[in-house]
């Protein structure tokens, strides 16, 4: 957060690693403000010492805009509660926009799921071999409630994939090797899941 706002820490440095789940702009009366300030939030406020104290006592970190300072008492309270008091020279609107943009960018980064994020090694995966039959597929499907499985050869190399569509209407004695989809598309762990 300090880097995002190009700011500095005035107190509560031990709480810098805490997660923040929302931010609140302290531009109302204390009574009205109290409804919005919750633990894990960030109060964005100017030179209102009373609002800074209220935020800290309610479990919120404080961001001072306009380059304003805080009181010694608020610094000590922040240190005691391990809730940061940060300061930036930007105005409230600018800093709120910067934080909002950074939060949105972070969510976008989280939404990009890579193959490596969901990859499971063969040792941890249920699979069939080329020598297995459709009866084996049905038993595995019944036990696991899955419908798609990798198919491996005797060297445990993936050579195909078998799905419910592949075995539909086929006799139990037929080998998986005869119905599987050969050479399925391959991806790397760094590929985006949507690429698959």
pLDDT digits (tens, 9 = 90+) for 84-111: 999 999 998 998 888 888 877 765 555 5
pTM: 0.54
Q: Are 76 and 53 in contact (CB under 8 A)?
A: no
* CATH code of the domain containing 159: 3.10.580.10
Is residue 40 over pLDDT 80? yes
31 and 85 co-located in one domain: yes
E-assigned strands of 2-139? 8-11, 22-25, 41-45, 61-64, 85-87, 128-129
Q: What is the pLDDT of residues 68-88, one digit of tens each?
A: 999 999 999 999 999 999 999
100 and 22 belong to one structural domain:
yes
Regarding whether 158 and 83 lie in a shared domain, the answer is no
Give me the chain's average pLDDT, please: 87
Mean pLDDT in residue range 22-40: 89
Shared-domain flag, residues 8 and 105 = yes
Give the residue numbers spanning the domain of 165: 117-195
Output the CA–CA distances (angstroms, integers) from residue 32 to 48, 49, 92, 167, in the order listed: 15, 16, 18, 64
Task: For residue range 49-60, list pLDDT tens digits in order.
Answer: 999 999 999 999
Residue that finishes a domain, picked among 111, 128, 153: 111
Out of 88, 111, 134, a domain closes at 111
Split into its structural domains, the chain has a count of: 2
141 shares its domain with 88: no
The reported pLDDT for the residue numbered 107 is 58
Residue 27 has pLDDT above 60, yes or no: yes
């Amino acid at each position: 957060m300090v880097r995002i706002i190009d700011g500095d820490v005035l107190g509560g440095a031990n709480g810098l690693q805490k997660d923040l789940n929302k931010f609140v702009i302290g531009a109302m009366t204390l009574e009205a403000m109290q409804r919005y300030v919750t633990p894990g939030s960030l109060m964005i406020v100017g030179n209102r010492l009373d609002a800074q104290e209220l935020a800290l006592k309610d479990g919120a970190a404080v961001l001072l805009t306009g380059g304003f300072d805080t009181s010694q008492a608020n610094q000590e309270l922040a240190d005691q509660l391990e809730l940061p008091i940060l300061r930036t020279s930007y105005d409230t609107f600018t800093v709120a926009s910067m934080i909002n943009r950074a939060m949105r960018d972070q969510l976008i980064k989280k939404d990009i799921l890579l193959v490596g994020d969901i990859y499971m090694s063969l040792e941890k995966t249920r699979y069939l071999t080329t020598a297995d039959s459709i009866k084996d597929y049905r038993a595995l499907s019944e036990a696991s409630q899955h419908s798609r499985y990798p198919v491996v050869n005797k060297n445990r190399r993936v050579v195909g994939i078998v799905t419910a569509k592949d075995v539909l209407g086929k006799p139990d004695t037929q080998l998986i090797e005869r119905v599987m989809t050969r050479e399925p598309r391959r991806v790397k762990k760094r590929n985006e899941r949507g690429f698959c």
